[in-house]
Amino acid sequence: MKRLVSLAVLTALVAGCIDNTGSNNEVAGYGYEGFAEEQLVPTPTNLNNDAYLMAAAPKYYIGSAYKLEDVQYIPAEDLTYNQTGIAGIIPVELNGSKTSNGETFDSNQMVATSKTLPLPSIVKVTNLDNGNSVVVRVNNRGPFVNTRIMDLSTAAAQQIGLNGTAKVQVQILEQQSIAVKNATLGATAAPAPVQEVAVAETPAPAPVATTGGEYSVQVSAVYSEDNANAQARDLASYGNAVVVHEGDLYKVRIIDLDAQNARRVIDALRSDKGMAPGLLKAGKWVNADSI
């Protein structure tokens, strides 16, 4: 059943979320750094041919792991993302503010927020109350309310009959998300033919010695065990890369590191792979830049 929220109640809720000490894009808890929901069977979709959806962004942003209200969030690329949860509406007061990846928020565009997806990503959002769907561009962090998985712009909310909050299914569109990432990173042009010449191969990074230390570096958390295993093999040169199965997720971690080697791994993954790894100390999350 849909829940209707009066204008007065909605205004009060928005006001209660505003941090008057922050910047404009912090209104109602947006612009910082979802929950592991049940995975649903993907359904086919046709992408709305909107040039804005696929336009290059000012930057491609993932961000570091962070904690909110004792919940740990680990932004990461996850092309199998398929979750359900409660969605709300982004306050129109944010019009003109900058998003986490440098775009300008416009409530008339088909955009949305996410706690963990790369910015920008393209996703299909389905209102499970009525079956209506919309394709949106995820371009900001949030909402930082643990009861909601995503918030939509006014235009996108109207498209699916969302008035207040409703349960939705959020499915990443893999090919479109890869395309908008490549456009943002300037990787859409085909590489020019290269003549075969003898060149020295770039050496792989030297393996990091595992010391039985108390630190672990987490690289990703995905639903696909095969993807996790493949990524662990790819990262073997950085240390003891393993896959940890927790709930519905397979988490790729480089384990048994002391503080010095954990720092080296984090720096190497950021520079070599463009990743945003998280850090655990004795099994508890800590700031990745605390060592």
Domain residue extents for the chain: 32-185, 215-286
Which tens digit of pLDDT belongs to each residue from 45-90?
A: 444 447 889 999 999 999 888 777 778 888 898 888 999 999 999 9
Mean pLDDT confidence for 237-242 = 93
Range in 105-109, 187-191, 257-261 with the lowest mean pLDDT: 187-191
Query: By the 8 A CB rule, do 259 and 214 touch?
Result: no
Higher-confidence position of 271 and 206: 271
Q: Is the pLDDT of residue 92 over 70?
A: yes
31 band by pLDDT with thresholds 50, 70 and 90: low
Mean pLDDT confidence for 270-277 = 75
SS3 68: strand
Mean pLDDT confidence for 99-124 = 94
The residue among 234, 231, 237, 227 whose CA lies nearest residue 264 is 237
Residue with structure tokens 């499915």? 171
Q: Is the pLDDT of residue 211 over 70?
A: no
Strand (E) positions, the chain? 66-68, 71-73, 82-89, 111-114, 121-127, 133-141, 150-152, 166-172, 215-222, 240-246, 249-257, 278-281, 284-286
Q: Are strands 284-286 and 278-281 parallel, antiparallel or unpaired?
A: antiparallel
Which tens digit of pLDDT belongs to each residue from 152-187?
A: 999 999 999 999 999 999 999 999 999 999 999 985
Q: Are strands 249-257 and 240-246 parallel, antiparallel or unpaired?
A: antiparallel
Give the bridge partners for 252, in sequence order. 220, 243
30 band by pLDDT with thresholds 50, 70 and 90: low
Q: What is the pLDDT of residue 187?
A: 53
Six-digit token pair at 249?
């997720």
CATH code given to domain 215-286: 3.30.70.1070
Which tens digit of pLDDT belongs to each residue from 8-28?
A: 333 333 333 333 333 333 344
94-125 exposure pattern, b = at least 16 Cβ within 10 A, e = fewer? beebbbbbebebbbebbbbbbbbbbbbbbbbb
d(CA 56, CA 183) in angstroms, rounded, equals: 5
Q: Measure the CA angle with vertex 129, ends 126 and 135; round to 5°.
A: 15
- The model carries a pTM of 0.54
Six-digit token pair at 240?
């003891």
Query: By the 8 A CB rule, do 3 and 166 touch?
Result: yes
Start-end of H helices in 194-290: 225-234, 259-268
Q: What is the pLDDT of residue 52?
A: 83
Mean pLDDT confidence for 229-234 = 88
H or E element at residue 181: helix 174-185
H or E element at residue 182: helix 174-185
What fold, for 32-185?
Barwin-like endoglucanases (2.40.40)
Range in 31-40, 132-141, 199-208 with the lowest mean pLDDT: 31-40
The rounded radius of gyration (Å) of the Cα atoms in the chain is 20
d(CA 105, CA 137) in angstroms, rounded, equals: 11
5 band by pLDDT with thresholds 50, 70 and 90: very low
